[in-house]
Amino acid sequence: MHVETEGLVGESDIIKAVRHLIAQVAPTDANVLILGESGAGKERVAQNIHKLSKRKDKPFVPLNCGAIPAELLESELFGHEKGAFTGAIASRPGRFELAEGGTLFLDEIGDMPLPMQIKLLRVLQERTFERVGSNKTQVAHVRIIAATHQHLEDRIKEGKFREDLYYRLNVFPIHMPALRERAEDLPLMIDEWLAQLRAVGEPVIHLTESALDCLKSYAWPGNVRELHNIIQRLSVLFPNQLVDVPDLGSPITDEPAKAYVEHVNADPFALPEAGVNLREIVSDLETRYIEAALQRADGVVARAADLLGLRRTTLVEKMKKLGLARDVA
């Protein structure tokens, strides 16, 4: 079955199977559980299911369950009325209301606290909910797609995930493969991203066959997200240039990138003749460290903040400022 998907590039059998499953489940209202490692592209799968569904003209609303503090998660999902709790200075709709008629994507569902799992299960069973601080029942006309990098069967055995909720969500499972499982797709994926950069007038790189082979053999612990970041970084370091193996640097190779070594040996703080854009340099540095911390923390903002020595609220503000925040609050 041929289906037009966005962002799921490749001709490997395993990614073709994912596209086939998307085409099968998209026209239905079945709940979907997307499994796979962090950074593998689970949200992209959810977006394609929505785009190919009868709900495509309604909202697609994502929520990272691991990025919201437990005490705020109920309000994020169901909304709240003015005065419902300290700080509730105005009424606010939750994600269920914002997704009305469309799709609610619950990412990292395995991180949802048990009390919230019970409340979510009730909504899935009865298709109704109430805002925090309200006794007015609202009907939930939404489709639920959930995703996790965790093994929920193990979480169930540990008493950290409800078995009845698992079966409600796992009506139609889709496994998004890790990038190392479909290394043959790398050339097409890289070509697509470089084409996107060209389309907006950004400089791009040209990879040698040896460099491409090196990228194919790398394990990609950060999956598609890591590949995307590396291609962007190389395009900044080597605009419109040919990139070979020594230019890739760690962690792709065992050595630092040649450009980095040359820069350090010269003087890391030497000021070029034309000067520098300090604001861009600082912004880029913050972005890289925040992305690295989020990757290590599996997207959980509170954990990433600890790694960076920041308060969670400070990190959230930085993420918003740098355009990294999509579903944190």
pLDDT tens-digit readout, 231-263: 988 888 888 899 999 888 878 876 554 544 444
- 107 neighbors 158 (Cβ within 8 angstroms): no
The span from the CA of 255 to the CA of 119, in Å, is 50
pLDDT at 86: 76
pLDDT at 87: 76
More confident residue, 223 or 296: 223
Considering the chain, what is the average pLDDT of its residues? Answer: 87
Most confidently modeled range among 160-164, 253-257, 264-268? 160-164
- Whether residues 273 and 125 fall in one domain: no
pLDDT at 271: 65
- 186 neighbors 216 (Cβ within 8 angstroms): yes
pTM given for the model:
0.76
Inform me whether the pLDDT recorded for 12 exceeds 90: yes
Confidence band of 197 (pLDDT split at 50, 70, 90): confident
Inform me whether the pLDDT recorded for 149 exceeds 60: yes
* Final residue in a domain of this structure, among 117, 146, 177: 177
Identify the bridge partners of residue 175 per DSSP, sorted by sequence position: 35
- Whether residues 141 and 81 fall in one domain: yes
Inform me whether the pLDDT recorded for 32 exceeds 50: yes
The span from the CA of 248 to the CA of 263, in Å, is 15
Q: Which long-range contacts (CB under 8 A, 24 or more apart) does 2-10 make?
A: 3/52, 5/48, 5/52, 6/44, 6/47, 6/48, 6/51, 7/41, 7/44, 7/47, 7/48, 8/41, 8/44, 8/45, 8/48, 9/185, 9/188, 9/189, 9/192, 10/182, 10/184, 10/185, 10/188, 10/189
- Whether residues 164 and 267 fall in one domain: no
64 is a domain residue: yes
220 is a domain residue: yes
Helix (H, G, I), strand (E, B) or coil at 278: helix
Inform me whether the pLDDT recorded for 194 exceeds 50: yes
Inform me whether the pLDDT recorded for 40 exceeds 90: yes
The span from the CA of 285 to the CA of 140, in Å, is 42
What is the domain count for the chain?
Answer: 2
Amino acid at 146: A
Average pLDDT, integer, range 283-300 = 82
pLDDT at 261: 45
pLDDT at 296: 82
Average pLDDT, integer, range 39-51 = 96
* Final residue in a domain of this structure, among 154, 177, 200: 177
* Final residue in a domain of this structure, among 177, 203, 219: 177
83 is a domain residue: yes
Cα–Cα nearest to 49, from 21, 12, 77: 21
Structure tokens, 139: 């009907």
- Whether residues 315 and 222 fall in one domain: yes
How many other C-beta atoms lie within 10 A of the C-beta of residue 51?
A: 16
4 is a domain residue: no
- Whether residues 151 and 70 fall in one domain: yes
- Whether residues 19 and 88 fall in one domain: yes
1 is a domain residue: no
Percent of the chain's residues with pLDDT above 90: 55
92 is a domain residue: yes
- Whether residues 107 and 55 fall in one domain: yes
326 is a domain residue: no
- 319 neighbors 328 (Cβ within 8 angstroms): yes
Average pLDDT, integer, range 33-40 = 94
Inform me whether the pLDDT recorded for 305 exceeds 90: no
Average pLDDT, integer, range 109-125 = 94
- What is the domain-level CATH number for residue 203? 1.10.8.60
